Structure 1
Amino acid sequence: MQRGLRTSTPEAPGAFASFVRFVILGGGVGLASSAGVALLAASLPFALANALVTVVSTILATELHARFTFAAGRRRGGRGLLRCGLRHHLQSAGTAAAAFAVTTLAMLVLYAFESAPSLVVEQTVYLSASALAGTGRFLALRLYVFATTGKRPSPVTLDLHRPPTRRELLTTAS
């Protein structure tokens, strides 16, 4: 690369495109996790299989979201297999833990009011809580974990010894 020249980096996708990617990638990892737990549970205790799959799937989902959902992986130089730093993985794990807490709380509240809910009621509550938690997780990842610090225009300073230009007037008025 020549001195003084910068390579352009792709812009992060818009909110709708990011949300669609989040649902597709997160859903894909979720389906793969379900299969992984079933396979591992055949030879390991279920709790251990679930814990292993949860850790691996959270790391995988964080990497996929960084690279494709929010395009954060494209803005950094490649650092081997994992492109996200420890901070991203810990924050993403925190959002996953919060989503788990929301769905668990929703189910506990359901069982507190209805000791034997029908399958339809149970799934409606669980899926509604999952949708709410997933939307919250998406917002946390987009607005906080993978937020970009875009360049802001420098503030316009006015020289009091000359009249401001039209551009300076329009910039300061907005």
Structure 2
Amino acid sequence: METTQRRQQPAPGALTAFARFVLFGGAVGLASSLAVAALATRIPWSLANALITTVSTLLATELHARFSFGAGARATWRQHAQSAGSAAAAFALTCMAILVLHQLVAAPGAMLEQIVYLSASALAGLARFAVLRLVVFARNRSQPAATDHTTQPVHTARPVHATVTQTATPAAPATLCRAA
């Protein structure tokens, strides 16, 4: 009976991961904005926004797991939950930015609102990228990266028993503890 182990692809560098994050996240965001507008013609906007936000967050998490951060596999439920948490935090940040704007400026124009919203969104996006890369989709970085097959663990179908043969008399405990 053989056991097979799927080899993980090496994680992409930060710049590549960020470019993919922007590409996939931006595409999902653009599609989401169109979907909310279309769905809002049939149901209340807040419900349409909630539904599309949920679906788009799930989709974006899958894309980021498979492509942006190089996992090459589906996202786990834990990763979906963490990603949803970071998306909720990003949403809260953009809402707070607009709320603060409306507290500071009585009647901000559409251009100022967009500048504030897009700036907060960009800041939230950078923070979300860092959270996804360093926490949600982080790999075990405490182990050195394997460069060839000789450093990979060996998996066997049966346990291997080692036999130890003693060929010399062990040193006395006092000899082992003596300082040199």
TM band (smaller chain): 0.7 to 0.9
Shift of 1:44: 1.1
1:1-174 matched pairs, under 5 angstroms: 8-72=7-71, 74=72, 76=73, 83-150=74-141, 152-153=143-144
Instruction: Give the Cα separation in 2 of the matches to 1:109 and 1:38.
Output: 26
Query: Which residue identity does 1:43 align to in structure 2?
Result: R
- TM value normalised by structure 1: 0.77
**SS across alignment from 2:98:** helix
Alpha-carbon deviations, 1:57-97, whole Å to 9, x = none? 0000000000000012x2x5xxxxxx211111110000000
Q: Which runs of 4+ in 1 moved over 3 A?
A: 5-8
Q: Cα RMSD (Å) of the superposition?
A: 1.8
TM-superposed deviation, 1:118:
2.1
TM-score (norm 2): 0.75
Q: Mark the runs of 5 or more structure 2 residues left unpaired by the alignment.
A: 145-175
2-structure distance, mates of 1:90, 1:20: 23
Q: Percent identity?
A: 57
Partner letter of residue 135 of structure 1?
Answer: L
Rg (Cα) greater in structure: 2
